């Protein structure tokens, strides 16, 4: 079974600074997908970024980027130029590559951006 671990329950960052959220996972699959979802206080789950395991290049979406280390099974999220609107719960998630399969989520990291 796949597991996703987020070791930082809470983090804070000053506005405009950079923060990195950690995620590790365990799987015997060779090909899979990894995601970061954001859940602001409004409770909606919003896709932030995704990474395909067979791609060596790290995914980037504007201020959000990942550091994907397949051998180490690590998938961290870097948020640059943090904004107050980035305050949210961030979930790392995994899905195996065999069709549209269930997401396995980590416990989340609560990020607070401080003015």
104-105 vs 74-79, strand pairing mode: unpaired
- Asked whether position 91 contacts other proteins by CB under 8 A, the answer is yes
Least separation in angstroms between residue 12's CB and other proteins is: 19
Member of 16, 45, 84, 114 binding other proteins (CB under 8 A): 45
**Whole-number Å distance between alpha carbons of 98 and 45:** 23
Least separation in angstroms between residue 73's CB and other proteins is: 18
Is residue 109 within a helix (H) or strand (E), and if so which, with residue range?
Answer: strand 109-114
Member of 24, 27, 52, 58 binding other proteins (CB under 8 A): 52
Please check whether residue 6 is in contact with residue 108, taking contact to mean a CB–CB distance below 8 angstroms: yes
- Asked whether position 25 contacts other proteins by CB under 8 A, the answer is no
**Nearest residue to 70 via CA among 82, 57, 79:** 57
Least separation in angstroms between residue 62's CB and other proteins is: 16
- Asked whether position 5 contacts other proteins by CB under 8 A, the answer is no
């Amino acid at each position: 079974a796949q597991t996703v671990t987020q070791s930082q329950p809470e983090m804070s960052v000053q506005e405009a600074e950079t923060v990195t959220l950690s995620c590790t996972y365990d799987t015997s699959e060779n090909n899979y997908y990894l995601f970061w979802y954001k859940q602001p206080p409004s409770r909606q789950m919003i896709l932030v970024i995704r990474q395909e395991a067979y791609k060596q290049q790290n995914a980037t979406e504007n201020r959000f980027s990942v550091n994907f280390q397949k051998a180490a099974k690590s998938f961290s999220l870097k948020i640059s130029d943090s904004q107050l609107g980035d305050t949210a719960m961030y979930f790392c998630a995994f899905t195996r590559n065999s069709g549209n399969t269930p997401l396995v989520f980590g416990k989340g990291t609560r990020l607070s951006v401080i003015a």
